[in-house]
Amino acid sequence: MQREIYSKLKEWKNSPYRKPLVMSGARQVGKSYIIKEFGKHEYSSLIVLNCDKDERIADIFDHGFRSERIISDIEIITGEKVIPDETLIFIDEVQEVPKALASLKYFCEDAPQYHIIVAGSLLGLAIHQGVSYPVGKVDEMTLYPLSFPEFVLARLGEQAYVKLTDEKPDDFDSLSSVYVTALREYYFTGGMPEIVAKFIEGADVEYLRDIQKRIITDYSLDISKHAKPEILGRIHQVWNSIPQQLAKGNKKFLYGDIQKGARAKDFELAIEWLKDAGMIHKVSRVRKPGIPLKYYEDFSAFKLFLIDHGIMGAMTDAPVSEILLGKNVFEEYKGSFTEQYVFEQLKVYSGSDIFYYDSDTSKLELDFLIQKGNKLVPIEVKAEENLKSKSLRQFFSNNPESCPVRISMSDYRKQDWMINMPLYAAFRVATGE
């Protein structure tokens, strides 16, 4: 399965400034697969070390960080020769061997001829629990579930992908019905590579839902295995509450919706744990729409999104037949699926932080607010063809230098003050028209 990150990996390999690469991302998003594919096709040889399965790997890094000795030990354990600039060394589940992560500093400084990639499903969690991280000595990438363009590439092929990603938005109309059908399918599958691959192969949808639930179970097992006992229950409470929080008209995360009388101090650590594990994302409110947005971040008000809308569908037992065949699927699930879906596309393609905005003194509410250069981009998400955008127009009146975008089921159109972007092209808001 082709992933857009593959081209970034090639750029990393060929960069004269290349450092050891740390790839992060939650469980089941396809990190190991894409790194192995990259190693097989772009290098003469690939050596894979799995820290979770081979206890000998920890011994390699227990005797200091001299690069040549580490390489020699890797050759002895694997029985393979490491050829500088021609062999890719992939260390998987690196969080299980913290010294392996620490060693990257010395490979960067003393042995740049060795190409090394490390990855781990709970790497973010490990780093924030005291693992020595080689700051400034590594390159970094994050892999997310498949975006909608990547789903189109897998489902419809290169031509449909190129049209969606490269051509002018006003040329979408000829394939709009095709993209809408694909979006309906993507609403069901989500972006987990295993689900998408099995769906394209023609697997039964109930079987696919079972796989989604197995992934949810794996996530829950990770929580139970790695979380401290004193916050274990609260992590599960936060995780299980997110779909219901997103289904509300006001999607601001409320502690009281988890447990009556709950306060921030009761659940802050649980939220941070889930963030570090890559299972959720946090979108803060801004106090005022100013540049830079980060300066006006309001840490007390935020929304929480899951890693994948397909997983959310399985968590809520959303009827598969309604998603794939229902006449009003985009309207029916507008309270949760649509905003979750749009957030995922912005997260993958936006190079800046994502916020939302609402005013304490008026009814002005914006689903998302991002910054592109010196411009603010207010975003309103609509799950149907309702083109009323009172909040968006009011925001533009107050901030005439902004570039408002409405994402809806309507076709692309550029007005004098606003752009309407089709729901299937939501990612274009982050990448540009």
The string of DSSP letters for 48-91 reads: EEETTT-THHHHHTSS---HHHHHHHHHHHH-----TTTEEEEE
Check whether 255 has a pLDDT greater than 60. yes
Question: What mean pLDDT is reported for the chain?
Answer: 92
Q: Are 308 and 190 in contact (CB under 8 A)?
A: yes
Report CA torsion sign: 397, 403, 407, 411: positive
pLDDT, tens digit, for every residue of 47-83?
A: 999 998 899 999 999 989 999 999 999 999 999 999 9
The whole model's pTM is what? Answer: 0.93
Superfamily for the 5-142 domain: P-loop containing nucleotide triphosphate hydrolases (3.40.50.300)
Q: How many CB atoms lie within 10 A of CB 411?
A: 15
* Residue pointed to by tokens 């957030």: 343
Query: Maximum CA pair distance of the chain?
Result: 68
Residue 333 binned pLDDT confidence (cut-offs 50, 70, 90): low
Residue 381, pLDDT score = 93
How do the domains of the chain map onto residue ranges?
5-142, 157-431
Q: What is the pLDDT of residues 111-169, one digit of tens each?
A: 999 999 999 988 887 776 667 889 999 999 999 999 999 999 999 999 999 999 998 88
Dihedrals phi, psi of 121, to nearest 5 degrees: -70, -30
**What φ, ψ does residue 119 adopt, rounded to 5°?**
-150, 160
Sheet containing 365-372: give its strands across. Answer: 297-306, 280-286, 355-358, 365-372, 375-381, 405-408, 419-422, 413-414
> pLDDT band at 432, cuts 50/70/90?
confident
pLDDT at 129: 67
Question: Given this model, what pLDDT does residue 335 score?
Answer: 58
| pLDDT tops 70 at residue 330 | no
Exposed/middle/buried for residue 383 (C-beta within 10 Å: 0-12, 13-18, 19+) = buried
